[in-house]
Amino acid sequence: MRRFAPFLWIFPLLLLSVPKAQAEPARILRYVSQRPDKAYLREGPTFAHKVVWIYRHRGYPFAVLAAFDIWRRVMAADGTVGWMSAAMLSDQRTVLVTGKGRVKIISGADGGKVVGLADPGAIAGLKACTREVCHIHGEAVDGWIAKNRIWGVGADEIFTK
């Protein structure tokens, strides 16, 4: 037993000196939204894989990370990653309001009057984005919201529809 004692002390030291592999952030291919009222997120790209989450809100945004056959590896706003059938997804762009407290929706990209307030967790359709704000539409609301308060659009993404 005394012959192995020095090795028992060296092994933990070797583990501490090995550099840890850091996970590379997932590369987002594009953003999509949930097509039906109920969609299943699975562990892998087949119907035989276990369902890990059930999303029950039409229009919920997802980031597509990879594609395999009829399956898309997606990430939700909270970072949950799994596989979803492409039939459950739509190319229609939506965003999820994030952060704490209500956020103002204004009438113009350069400012204007407040046309509404959005609560965290609200989902809205996406029309256009500038560097700082995005044009969204929802139930009886059409206006611009700060880009840093929504999820479902890239930070450097600029477009008009």
Torsion 7-8-9-11 (CA) sign: positive
Topology of domain 95-151 in CATH is: SH3 type barrels. (2.30.30)
pTM exceeding 0.85? no
User: Do the two domains 30-91 and 95-151 of this chain adopt the same fold?
Assistant: yes
Q: Give percent above pLDDT 90 in the chain.
A: 78
Q: Flag the least confident range among 16-25, 107-116, 138-147.
A: 16-25
Q: What is the pLDDT of residues 12-68, one digit of tens each?
A: 443 444 444 445 567 999 999 999 999 999 999 999 999 999 999 999 999 999 999
Is the pLDDT at 10 greater than 60? The verdict is no
Cβ-based neighbours of 115, under 8 Å, separated by 6 or more:
105, 106, 107, 141, 142, 143
Provide the pLDDT for residue 24: 54
How many Å apart are CA 62 and CA 72, to the nearest integer? 10
Q: Which residue has the tokens 């000196």?
A: 17
- Domain borders along the chain are 30-91, 95-151
Write the class of the CATH domain 30-91. mainly beta
Calculate mean pLDDT across residues 121-147.
Answer: 96
- 51 close to 39: Cβ distance less than 8 angstroms: no
Helical segments of the chain, H only: 5-17
